[in-house]
């Protein structure tokens, strides 16, 4: 092969051409994304047909066949289970406070958060349209008003408001527990509501929140233990983590349900608390592995720099290593929390009436026999919405905390 | 007690300030607390069981079970022992897990590739499927499939027929091979075919190394295996399997094989749920291979097939296999959800045994031990694999 310099063809005009512009056109987009090769064109046609068939079948069922009155007639049951009607205002109070806190936080920390605040306000209104009775509508209106008030207050962006919001979030969990559980059987203001009356979405969310709040510190401790240089500590952590991760969740739940009373004779622990213990013990092992991933990502230099600056080991861990390690694994942690939220559905196997359990009792009502498709589709939708909200929230959090830019 | 001298101070340090001493004390305290907790708990369990008049032991496994099991792979009647019932459950778990793993891998690979498709519609559909599966609990999916799909199928008499397969609320009836007298001989032929395929593969590899030119390896192996098996099938005096077709007989089916609605719902649920997660694993694996690798392979004269086989696959597998194994373990552990739809897997059968005998401690211990050993064994294999691929890297 001979290499010969080819004369470069001269363009007739010396004028440089303008840079190529790619304009967005519908046809261009269609061509590029759907019909760029012959097999993609074929695939597109087949997919369109399949999707059309599926949408038609599902739409036909959802609009004409399905009897959605099973959902609307039992909304309260799905939401709170057997929780007494006289105490229902406490559940509403939790919602209103949550909305107020969310609005305040959005106003304080988020710039251009109009989409989120609109969502926060629209949610109660949409539910209010679906709801059947006046009380629910008023409560939902209250939640929306609280969110709006919080957001407007947050616009002040004062320091004390930020502290108030943080304190509010910290106090929210104990507040919810006190409101829902009550202060004692004789208490005049907040009489106890026994846990066997907790149910529906309320129980599902409580299991999730308790699971997150308690398993998170336990998981961090286990992760630190596993990475520890003390051999016995590390071995114990490894054994715990690997044993829990090696067995199915149902067996852990069963064990908590059947064995805890045997471990602690004389003490009566009620079923919901036992289930919560199972959730916490199980979730901690998985969280520990996720946190360990974050810990491993911290370069040695961070430790050395901290020691050089005179930090004590516990200060180094608490102030230097953990904040960075946890920030690095936020998406994974939230994924784990979503998994926990989904896993709480298994408490129905040990006989609790969470969202899944309520679905079963609703299906046993003589008026609504054989409506499994409607009920379980609704349950799936509720789980889906909450999981989606959690992952959306995690993405926002990730963006906010991304100081590296 | 060994005393450490601090370089900076001439004084001899007191031994309780020695870091090693403090560490040892902390560890001993933690160990002591853990041992105390375990012993106290175990003590309490034994005591409270004694009060109920139950002694811990595994003798009850030899007692008669007295309950029936819907799905059995091995002969089982209610006069068999608890131990055998447990074995039936274990086999059911194995069947669901293994077939689930195979099917979920196939479907998951498709989902992962679809997620990378340049076709927007295909890409988005796969994304929607994955998001749907990731945001809905498996239990809801399983119960939905069982109660709202498989139990809502028409009765056996009005069964929906898809070719020779019948769908009804009695389950899914499909044609199935019935072994004849020559089945044993055919198994021997199959074993011989596998051995020959291995031999052919080794021979071709030797030839490739000797000649220094690429020789086909995979195809001759498949050819040898298929050829010997087919010849064996027809050479035997009687076909080793006869196909039996299901037919509607009264309220049920005769012939073929009927998979119960419980089994079908569990298998389908586990497969599509796990496939979504496997899809993400596969996508991440393929995307982890830098584009330059493909371009370099093409520049070196590799064809598309060889690029895939020798360049992309080995590198993608290194990323894919560990999380994939995790998904397989998840599927196996998730198969315990069978208890919610009444499929008698290991956990379901042990639940029944606990109800019958009250032996919660022993049964939970057995079930946990089985799952734990499966998990630990798999992670052992995984570690070996990881070590191997790491060696290949350098």
Q: What is the pLDDT of residues B232-272, one digit of tens each?
A: 888 888 888 888 888 887 777 877 788 999 999 999 999 99
How many degrees, rounded to 5, is the angle at CA B188 between CA B186 and CA B192?
Answer: 115
C-alpha A301/C-alpha A198 separation (Å) is 50
Same structural domain, B255 and B111: yes
If asked whether residues B269 and B327 sit together in one domain, one would say: yes
Using only C-alpha atoms, what is the Rg of chain A? 28
Confidence (pLDDT) at A337: 94
Q: Is B345 a member of any domain? A: yes
Taking the C-alpha atoms of residue A119 and residue A102, their distance in angstroms, rounded to an integer, is 11
CATH 3.10.110.10 fits A199-405, yes or no: no
Average pLDDT for A105-119: 80
Q: Do A343 and B34 touch (CB under 8 A)?
A: no
Cα three-residue angle A377-A385-A394, rounded to 5 degrees: 150
The pLDDT value given to residue B394: 43
Residue A405 pLDDT:
45
The answer to whether position B195 is within a domain reads yes
Which of the listed residues B244, B272, B293 is the one where a domain comes to its end?
A: B244
What confidence score (pLDDT) does residue A76 get? 87
Q: Residue window 365-394, chain B: list those with CB within 8 Å of chain A.
A: 367-368, 371-372, 374-376
* Mean pLDDT in residue range A229-253: 93
Binary contact (A258, B360; C-beta < 8 A): yes
pLDDT band at A186 (very low <50, low <70, confident <90, very high): confident
Question: Can you give the pLDDT at residue A73?
Answer: 86
ipTM at complex level: 0.87
CA distance B181 to chain A (A): 42
Give the domain ranges of chain A. Answer: 39-72, 83-193, 199-405
DSSP assignment letter at B345? -
The region of weakest confidence among A91-95, A223-227, B307-311 is B307-311
A51–B336 C-beta distance less than 8 A: no
Taking CB atoms and an 8 Å cutoff, what residues of chain A touch B374?
246
Whole-number pLDDT of residue B9? 52
Residue B35's domain comprises 17-51
Per the domain annotation, does B75 fall within a domain?
no
- Give phi and psi for B64, each to the nearest 5: -70, 135
H/E segment holding residue A299:
none
Residues B367, B278: one domain? yes
Q: Do A349 and B34 touch (CB under 8 A)?
A: no
Q: How many domains does chain B have?
A: 3
Task: Tell me what pLDDT residue A9 has.
Answer: 59
Q: Mean pLDDT across the stretch A101-123?
A: 83
DSSP B65-81: -----SS-SS---TTSB
Q: From the list A258, A263, A356, which residue is nearest B44 (CB)? A: A263
For residue B320, is it within any domain? yes
Distance CA A144, CA A124 (A): 6
Q: Is residue B381 part of a domain?
A: yes
* Interface with chain A: mutation pick from B36, B120, B152, highest number of A CBs within 10 Å: B120
Q: Which residue has the higher pLDDT, B102 or B184?
A: B102
Determine the average pLDDT of the residues in A87-91.
88
What pLDDT score does A404 carry? 56
Do B114 and B149 lie in one domain? The reply is: yes
Same domain, B230 and B321: no
B28 and B41 both lie in a single domain? yes
Does position B35 have pLDDT exceeding 90, yes or no? yes
Together in a domain, B257 and B274: yes
Helices A88-109 and A159-181: crossing angle in degrees, nearest 10, is 160
Compute the average pLDDT of residues A39-47. 88
pLDDT in the model for residue A13: 60
Q: Tell me how close the Cα of B226 comes to any Cα of chain A, in angstroms.
A: 32
Within-domain flag for B149: yes
On the question of pLDDT at A355 being above 90, the answer is: yes
Q: Is residue B133 part of a domain?
A: yes
Same domain, B40 and B114: no
Quote the CA–CA distance of A300 and A292 in Å, as a whole number: 15
Cα atoms in the Cβ-side hemisphere of radius 13 Å centred on A3: 0
B97 neighbourhood in chain A, CB within 8 Å: none
B7 within domain boundaries: no
Both B167 and B192 in a single domain?
no
A225's enclosing H/E stretch is helix A200-227
Q: What is the pLDDT of residue A221?
A: 95
Q: Are B262 and B224 members of one domain?
A: no
Q: Tell me which residue of B153, B102, B140, B89 sits closest to B343, measured CA to CA.
A: B89
Cα-based angle A113, A114, A120 (whole degrees, multiple of 5): 95
Chain B residue nearest residue A344, CA to CA: B137
Q: Where are the alpha helices (DSSP H) in chain B?
A: 19-51, 82-115, 120-135, 138-143, 183-211, 218-235, 261-287, 291-299, 304-306, 313-334, 338-341, 346-357, 360-393
The tens digit of pLDDT for each residue in B150-162 reads 998 888 888 888 8
Which residues 338-377 in chain A show a CB within 8 A of chain B?
338, 342-343, 345-346, 348-349, 356, 359, 363, 372-373, 376-377
pLDDT at A11: 57
The 10s digit of each residue's pLDDT in A3-36 is: 555 666 555 566 777 777 767 778 888 888 888 7
Helix axes A330-343, A200-227, angle to 10 degrees: 130
Please give the model's pTM, rounded to 2 decimal places.
0.86
What is the Cα–Cα distance from B319 to B307, expressed in whole angstroms?
17
On whether both B115 and B200 belong to a single domain, the answer is: no
Q: Do A263 and B34 touch (CB under 8 A)?
A: no
Q: How confident is the model at residue A393 (pLDDT cuts 50, 70, 90)?
A: confident
Residues B310 and B347 in one domain: yes
For A29, nearest residue in chain B (alpha carbons): B120
Write the pLDDT tens digit of every residue in B324-370. 999 999 999 999 999 999 899 999 999 999 888 888 888 999 999 99
* A250 touches B at CB < 8 Å: yes
User: Which residues from chain B sit within 8 angstroms of residue A233, using beta carbons?
Assistant: 26-27, 30
């Amino acid at each position: 092969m001979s290499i010969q310099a080819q004369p470069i063809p001269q363009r007739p005009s010396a004028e440089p051409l303008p840079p190529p512009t790619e304009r967005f056109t519908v046809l261009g987009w269609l061509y590029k994304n759907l019909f760029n090769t012959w097999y993609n064109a074929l695939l597109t046609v087949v997919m369109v047909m399949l999707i059309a068939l599926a949408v038609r079948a599902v739409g036909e069922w959802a609009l004409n066949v399905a009897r959605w009155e099973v959902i609307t007639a039992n909304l309260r049951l799905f939401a709170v289970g057997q929780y007494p009607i006289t105490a229902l205002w406490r559940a509403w109070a939790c919602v209103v406070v949550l909305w107020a806190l969310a609005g305040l936080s959005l106003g304080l920390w988020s710039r251009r958060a109009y989409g989120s605040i609109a969502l926060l306000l629209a949610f109660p209104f949409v539910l209010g349209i679906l709801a059947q009775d006046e009380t629910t509508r008023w409560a939902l209106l209250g939640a929306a008003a609280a969110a709006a008030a919080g957001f407007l207050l947050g616009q002040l962006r004062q320091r004390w408001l930020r502290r108030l919001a943080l304190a509010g979030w910290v106090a929210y969990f104990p507040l919810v527990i006190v409101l829902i559980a009550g202060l004692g059987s004789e208490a005049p203001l907040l009489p106890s509501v026994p846990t066997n009356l907790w149910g529906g979405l309320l129980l599902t969310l409580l299991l999730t929140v308790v699971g997150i709040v308690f398993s998170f510190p336990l998981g961090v401790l286990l992760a630190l233990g596993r990475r520890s240089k003390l051999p016995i500590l590390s071995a114990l952590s490894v054994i715990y983590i690997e044993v829990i991760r090696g067995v199915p969740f149902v067996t852990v739940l069963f064990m908590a349900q059947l064995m805890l009373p045997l471990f602690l004779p004389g003490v009566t622990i009620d079923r919901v608390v036992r289930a919560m213990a199972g959730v916490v013990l199980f979730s901690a092992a998985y969280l520990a592995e996720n946190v360990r991933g974050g810990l491993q990502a911290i370069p040695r230099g961070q430790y050395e720099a901290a020691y050089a600056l005179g930090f004590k080991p516990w200060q180094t861990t608490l102030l230097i290593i953990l904040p960075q390690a946890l920030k690095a694994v936020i998406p994974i942690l939230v994924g784990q929390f979503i998994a926990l939220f989904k896993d709480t559905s298994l408490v129905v196997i040990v006989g609790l009436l969470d969202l899944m359990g309520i679905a079963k009792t609703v299906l046993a009502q003589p008026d609504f026999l054989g409506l499994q498709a409607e009920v379980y589709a609704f349950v799936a939708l509720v789980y889906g919405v909450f999981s989606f909200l959690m992952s959306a929230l995690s993405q926002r959090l990730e963006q906010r905390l991304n100081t590296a830019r | 007690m060994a005393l450490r001298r601090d370089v900076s101070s001439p004084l001899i340090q007191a031994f309780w300030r020695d870091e090693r001493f403090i560490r040892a004390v902390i560890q001993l305290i933690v160990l002591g607390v853990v041992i105390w907790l375990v012993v106290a708990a175990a003590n309490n369990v034994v005591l409270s069981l004694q009060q109920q008049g139950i002694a811990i032991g595994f003798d009850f496994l030899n007692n008669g079970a007295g309950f029936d099991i819907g799905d059995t792979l091995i002969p089982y009647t209610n006069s068999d022992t608890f131990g055998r019932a447990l074995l039936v459950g274990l086999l059911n778990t194995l069947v669901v897990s293994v077939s689930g793993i195979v099917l979920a891998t196939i479907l998951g690979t498709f989902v992962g590739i679809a997620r990378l498709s340049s076709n927007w519609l295909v890409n988005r559909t796969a994304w929607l499927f994955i998001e749907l599966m990731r945001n809905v609990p498996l239990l809801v999916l399983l119960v939905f499939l069982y109660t709202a799909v498989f139990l809502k199928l028409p009765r056996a008499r009005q069964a929906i027929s898809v070719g020779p397969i019948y769908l009804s609320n009695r389950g899914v009836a499909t044609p199935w091979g019935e072994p004849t007298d020559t089945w044993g001989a055919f198994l021997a032929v199959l074993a011989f075919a596998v051995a020959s395929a291995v031999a052919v593969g080794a021979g071709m590899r030797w030839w490739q190394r000797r000649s220094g030119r690429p020789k086909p390896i995979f195809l001759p192996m498949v050819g040898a295996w298929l050829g010997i098996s087919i010849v064996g099938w027809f050479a035997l005096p009687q076909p080793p399997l006869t196909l039996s077709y299901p037919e509607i007989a009264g309220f049920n089916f005769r012939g073929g094989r009927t998979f119960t609605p419980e089994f079908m719902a569990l298998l389908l649920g586990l497969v599509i749920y796990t496939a979504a997660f496997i899809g993400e694993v596969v996508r991440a694996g393929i995307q982890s291979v830098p584009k330059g690798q493909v371009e370099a392979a093409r520049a070196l004269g590799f064809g598309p097939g060889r690029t895939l086989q020798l360049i992309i696959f080995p590198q993608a597998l290194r990323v894919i296999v560990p999380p994939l194994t995790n998904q397989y373990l998840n599927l196996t552990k998730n198969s315990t959800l069978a208890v919610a739809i009444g499929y008698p897997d290991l956990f379901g059968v042990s639940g029944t045994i606990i109800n019958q005998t009250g032996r919660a401690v022993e049964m939970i211990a057995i079930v946990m031990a089985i799952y734990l050993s499966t998990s630990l064994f798999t992670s052992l294999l995984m570690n070996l694999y990881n070590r191997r691929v790491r060696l290949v890297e350098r």
